[in-house]
Amino acid sequence: MRDQSPFVVTVQGIVYFIYSAFLTMIGYFVLDALSKRGDNYSTVAICTLVAVGFMAFLYIGYARFSGKLLTNFGIFILAFIVFHFGLFLVFSLGGEYNYFYLKQYEVSTILKTIQYEFGCVGMLFLSGAWIHRIYPFRFRRMNKLDRYGVYRTAKMMMYVTGMVAFILLLLKAVAFTVGYYQGVRQFDARVPSILGLIEYFFIPFALLTLIYSDNLHMDRFIKLAVIIWSVVTAMCGDRTSGIAGIMILMLTSVRYKKESKKSFKSYIYILVTMIVASFLIVFIKQFRETGNLSDINMGSVFTDVLGELGSSFFPLTLIMRVCPSRHPFLHGSSYLYSILGGFIPESLDITGTVSRWNARAIEPLSWITSDYDYTFGTGYSLCAEAYANFSYFGFIAIFFIGIIVLKFLSSDSDNEFSKYTASVLMFEFFTLPRRNFYYIINHPFYCIVLVSVVLLIFTKKSVNLENSFNTN
């Protein structure tokens, strides 16, 4: 029985909270002052570098408070920063890239975007003050299941879902050779929803098998399969999922496998793997698009990866220009519809109600469609959703979203299923900054609830409960 309450904070937590709040407020007002001094792209570069500098100090404070250089929540924050400030940083450092998103609209709105997104990042760091007070889910029923039985069931499901995933991946690769990214999108649109659902579960069951496995050969097989899936997925256009797949695989191996040791070398291993994966992705992209590899260098890798991932500020810019001048604030309704629609797959709803709920959850995207003449998808983001609902009070929504994500990404070192949930949600939440609240509801439902149902159906309880995993 735990003797602590999550509502009781420590002196260290209060100090960290004050430190983060102070830096966030100072940074926010400095950016505001800089924005008023010049309405030009030089100001954009200066504001970006100032924001990145403040966020660096915020992360240092978080690392000292958490006691770790990299936590699951820390990685989520870093991904959040990359998605929202990546393109700004490339531009500020003078990198060569296509700055369509950056230079499409007036500088004043771009500067407001930078300021707002910095405030959102600050709220996430404030959420981190709870890191020592948030406890992982206990999964009592899952802890009573036979460990080998869970491994066997997970392995069986990995083979079934993997067969479908790799067949679809092969067909996507063929579609890519014919029609490049447009060909892949057309293929995805023709895939039956049931096959897409089966494909979705490959990574969850692969990670689950890896965590429960004591077989070195099986571990190597899973790692090879996930790496191949990640690289080909990236090659076919989804570079974010490709990078996420390799990163989560390495993190899971380093943190949760018995033969692995937590050390500085482990983090270097992860970093090198990420750099190699990024270089490989850029290599493939360059070769497929131009057939010329002479221009590839580490600098181009840096600009390409950051530029590709870091354009998630754009939906916020678009929404700031039309809300509330042409469209009213949603006042939290999109979050409500996300909760309603997140638990029920659209393919299982013959009435179409869930589809309508999900459409209401992303209503601001219809504003973009109606007010802008774009023939491509602009994407979305947690920041854009927060602004569309509550304007500058959206910072409060981001703070509570941060606490929810922190809860989901927490893991119990003595609980194998808890390790799995943290790993799989790290994979799913890696792209969360460029999505909406719906995915915070939907992904845990699929990856935790439905996977648990499968295990409970096909796995017997442990005969020796003393050896079962217990987090009480």
Mean pLDDT to the nearest integer, 398-404: 97
Annotate 448-459 with b (16+ C-beta within 10 A) or e (fewer).
Answer: beebbebbeeeb
Query: Which of 3-12, 186-195, 233-242 has the weakest average pLDDT?
Result: 3-12
Q: Residue 70: helix, strand or coil by DSSP? A: coil
The pLDDT value recorded for residue 243 is 83
CA terminus-to-terminus distance, the chain: 6
Q: Parse the chain into domains and list their residue ranges.
A: 140-288+408-467
Query: What pairs with residue 461 in β-bridges?
Result: 145
The pLDDT value recorded for residue 419 is 93
Task: Give the chain's mean pLDDT.
Answer: 87
Q: What single DSSP character describes residue 145?
A: B
Reported pTM: 0.90
pLDDT band at residue 292 under the 50/70/90 scheme? low
What is the four-CA torsion angle of 341, 191, 169, 427, rounded to 10 degrees?
A: 0
Asked whether the predicted pLDDT for residue 296 surpasses 70, the reply is: no
pLDDT higher at 463 or 455: 455
Q: Would you mind telling me the total number of residues written for the chain in this entry?
A: 472
The pLDDT value recorded for residue 472 is 32
pLDDT higher at 406 or 342: 406
* pLDDT tens column, 172-210: 989 988 877 778 888 888 988 889 989 999 999 999 999
The pLDDT value recorded for residue 269 is 66
The pLDDT value recorded for residue 272 is 72
pLDDT higher at 58 or 144: 58
Tell me, what amino acid is at 441? I
CA distances from 382 to 101, 205, 328 (A): 18, 27, 18
* Residue 395 · residue 126 · CB < 8 Å: no
Residue 279 CA to residue 102 CA, distance in Å, equals 24
* DSSP character string of 427-446: HHHTTGGGS-THHHHHHHII
Asked whether the predicted pLDDT for residue 258 surpasses 60, the reply is: no
